[in-house]
Structure 1
């Protein structure tokens, strides 16, 4: 059985209504941003049509009604292009629209019963800023975003910049503590950073507007995909 090159060997199995759920965590992921010439739906359509199969709908500072409407449209767009859609911070919306996953931007503990129910239905991830954040996590997430890598317009005020050496340090410490969870670098990542990030031991990359503000977007995405294959040799 051949698995898509941009998906890892991390496969998670669970039971829901007697059906088998397989969770695959892609090494190259995209999260939407609001300050672009493209709408959220257009971003989802653009990157999913170019082969990015793990897309995050991140809508900060929007009402739940707006998030719901956008998520409903975005799920359909993603499915049409064989991509997964992850909704940020709104479990109830993710459930209503049939999203593939939920990402929590904060590391606050989630009630164990609630988390167990969500875990059976969705891919679950969370954002972290340092090793302490990771060690404090009480829930069994499927992946983590560790960032920001660099402060290139990051809105995470007060967040500690990770940097290449920071990623290696965190991953090495996780290995010592037998913490086996996919960690993706996120926040201000550009194509030229991939060659330096791959050897750090991180699982993959979460890219955003950096990939859409270039002259040739399709070529940029292809280069990211090629860099993923070259850097991680899946």
Structure 2
């Protein structure tokens, strides 16, 4: 089951990825993507092993960004691959048939590519400008999402699609009304004054929109 709320780790001003992930878990986040860039693989593996233990403690799922070997060694629930990362079929050969694999997309053509690659979910974005990604694809916004999801429905695509990229709590209801499955956030939780309330309200928005659709 793919969660509707994905937390993507980032290093806060006063702390590490571990600091941010601990806070997100304590706040109630259940889907944690460890996204560490420009650090040695040995360090990322250490993070992943420790975060995997934390996720087990809190009943959450660990997703490792970019590194299939690390995801496998850490016993992660899933792996997330960007468009410029290792091809999905190669990663699948490393992690096996049971690990969840998600893939990034920016266009409807990317979504068709990801579906053909048999990913388990798709991260579609960016919604708006975000500092957490250096090579930012063209921004989609609400209109971009609506247009792409219309094509997705016409094509009969059932793969869960997650909005990603600079998303704040006040964006969620409008984003979900375009027909997306869920959202991925980072700073909205990392820098929240009251992260527990923030996560609770996000889940309420996501679930209420889903129930209205059903």
From 174, 183, 188, the equivalent of 1:205 is 183
From 147, 150, 162, the equivalent of 2:140 is 162
Q: Which structure carries more helix by proportion?
A: 2
Match of 2:79 in 1: 102
CA distance in 2 between partners of 1:218 and 1:76 (Å): 21
Q: After the TM superposition, which residues 16-27 of structure 1 pair with which residues of structure 2 at under 5 Å, given as runs?
A: 24-27=1-4
Higher relative contact order (CA 8 A, sep 6+): 2
Q: Superposition RMSD on alpha carbons, in Å?
A: 1.9
Match of 1:47 in 2: 24
From 53, 56, 60, the equivalent of 2:33 is 56
Q: Report how far residue 228 of structure 1 moved.
A: 1.4
- 3-state DSSP of counterpart to 2:192: coil
Distance change >3 Å, CA 38–CA 113, structure 1 → 2: closer
Q: Deviations over 1:53-98 (max 9, x none)?
A: 1110000111101100111100000110000000011111111111
Q: After the TM superposition, which residues 27-176 of structure 1 pair with which residues of structure 2 at under 5 Å, given as runs?
A: 27-106=4-83, 110=87, 112=89, 115=92, 118=95, 120-137=97-114, 138-176=116-154
Q: Which structure carries more strand by proportion?
A: 1
Q: Report how far residue 181 of structure 1 moved.
A: 0.5
CA distance in 1 between partners of 2:123 and 2:13 (Å): 22
Distance change >3 Å, CA 116–CA 69, structure 1 → 2: closer
Q: Report how far residue 34 of structure 1 moved.
A: 2.6
CA distance in 1 between partners of 2:135 and 2:71 (Å): 27
Which runs of 5 or more residues in structure 1 are unaligned? Answer: 1-23
TM-score (norm 1): 0.83
Q: Report how far residue 178 of structure 1 moved.
A: 1.8
Whether the 8 Å CA contact 1:53–1:82 is kept in 2: the answer is: yes
CA distance in 1 between partners of 2:34 and 2:86 (Å): 22
Once the two structures are overlaid, the 10-residue window that deviates more, 76-85 or 173-182, is 173-182
Match of 2:174 in 1: 196
Q: Deviations over 1:99-137 (max 9, x none)?
A: 111100225673647526635231110111111212233
Match of 1:15 in 2: none
CA distance in 2 between partners of 1:111 and 1:167 (Å): 24
CA distance in 2 between partners of 1:105 and 1:225 (Å): 25
| Residues paired across the two proteins, number | 211
